[in-house]
Amino acid sequence: MSTRPEFFRGLVLAAATALLLTNTALAETATSLPAAGPPSVADLAEGLLDAVVNISISQNVKSDDDNAPMPQVPEGSPHQEFFDEFFKGQGGEGNRPRTVNSLGSGFVIDPTGFIVTNNHVIQDADDIEINFSDGSKLKAKLVGMDTKTDLAVLKVEPKKPLKAVSFGDSRKIRIGDWVMVVGNPFGLGVSVSVGVVSARGRNINAGPYDSFIQTDAAINRGNSGGPLFNMRGEVIGINTAILSQTGMSVGIGFAVPTELAMNVVNQLKEFGETRRGWLGVRIQPVTDDIAESLKMERPRGALVSGIIEGGPITKGEIKAGDIIIRFDGTDVAEIRDLMRAVGESPVGKMVDVIIIRDGKEQTVRVTLGRLEDGEQLANAPAKENGEGAKPNEPPAAQLPASDVVLGMKLAVLDADRRKSFGIADSVEGVVVTEVQPNSAAAERRVAAGDVIVEIGQEAMATPDDVSTRVEELKNDGRRNALLMIANKTGELRFVTVQME
């Protein structure tokens, strides 16, 4: 019995020794592991705060600013009702004239006074004032803006050089990297928040060049137009939008990456406007059905649905029905890739474009035009021939139509039918005179007055051509027929119609 206390003292000593050794091992392991996150961003933030500014605007309006620009999520998204912009006019009722005062953020990119922000922060502003961190204020003028990327460049006239920040390479940022947001949330003044990159290349349907950086760093109204920094103090994004039901941060914010913004900012700064490349084609997505009908292994590329007259394509280098899969060394997985690559290319540059035509790849060379000029051509009303008929007015009763094919009644496109449907002289093919309700063609919104130009990349001239080609495709094991459809003015689109 006398040995029992000695036994317990031995157990306690052994346990204490084991605990000491364990703690020592844990400490050694901890010191050998990389830091879980930045221990502090105080030094980093201190060197950047003076370059971030608050932007105050005033605007005389007649009613609530319900039509303020707001990026939209894709149609049908479960998050659509929660999507909100940062910047919206407050106060006032009815249509009485009033002054709206709003706040946003921006940052200095040049000591001489050039400042970057979002276009929706300053759009339609009557007065723009820049508030600096030291309390000073300067009036700003608009140098240039770009609605497609929601960016704008302002200019102030400082008495001494300003603190400026530089752009970094957003292509090097990885999911999980730490980032820092500096801005003016709710008009409180310069504030800092830290988070990580949650995703890259996000498309929120805000514009044709969407490729946003998503971050969980706290971004709220008033942060719009402010910088997203990497841990080297470089701007790798411009905060633009949030996904939120309340307008407050829920950890899903979006920033325009500098790989997209830098070229736009430089052009606005130099020219006061953008000068984007332009290919001069109308495009639509390559869907699963289209890929299957063309015997493609998988959907990819951008399907050319038309060539804009007066554009860069003057010698048939690219034709309707071609699929663009590579542009100037950049793979085109979807139409956004093509739009972004073309838009970022210099005007007048000669580029190689790889297309699929008749099932074979080939390379063509095209000299790019200027998008801003091309938009006027693309939006110009098409010339119409044919008088006295509404677009979908049925043809005269004495004009017989063929049997039904894929739910469509078809007829030869002669002079009488051109006049009856108001179809331009330049349009060639087989006219649709009637579409049966609930048919495969009706599901694809084919309507009376449409003209079938091609089926399965073969030109159509008569209703018999249509019937024969459909039977050929069925015998070839195809489930869908790819139709090139022209409207009365000649604008083309591609639809796939089930043949089963």
Residue positions annotated with a catalytic role = 120, 150, 224
Q: Is 133 helix (H, G, I), strand (E, B) or coil?
A: coil
Burial of 315 (0-12, 13-18, 19+ CB in 10 A): exposed
Smallest Cα–Cα separation from 401: which of 411, 412, 416, 413? 411
What is the 8-class DSSP label of residue 201? E
- Token pair belonging to 174: 């990885």
Residues 6+ apart with CB under 8 A from 244: 82, 83, 84, 250, 252
Q: Are 351 and 345 in contact (CB under 8 A)?
A: yes
Which run of H or of E encompasses 475?
A: helix 463-475
The angle at the Cα of 10, spanning 7 to 14, to the nearest 5 degrees, equals: 145
- Token pair belonging to 217: 């760093």
Provide the residue type at 61 as one letter.
Answer: V
Smallest Cα–Cα separation from 202: which of 193, 214, 216? 214
Query: How far is residue 330's CA from residue 341's CA, in Å, rounded to a whole number?
Result: 7
CA distances (Å), 191 to each of 83, 226, 483, in order?
23, 11, 56
The residue behind tokens 């346990």 is 15
CA distances (Å), 383 to each of 74, 364, 371, 423, 424, in order?
33, 29, 22, 10, 8
Q: For 303, what's the count of Cα atoms within 13 Å in the CB-facing half-sphere?
A: 26
Q: Are 456 and 473 in contact (CB under 8 A)?
A: yes
Smallest Cα–Cα separation from 72: which of 237, 200, 198, 207? 207
Smallest Cα–Cα separation from 226: which of 415, 439, 45, 444? 45
Q: What pairs with residue 101 in β-bridges? A: 58
Burial of 214 (0-12, 13-18, 19+ CB in 10 A): buried
Q: Strand runs (DSSP E) across 35-135, as ranges?
A: 52-61, 83-84, 98-110, 114-118, 127-131
List, in sequence order, the alpha helices (H) in 236-278.
258-271
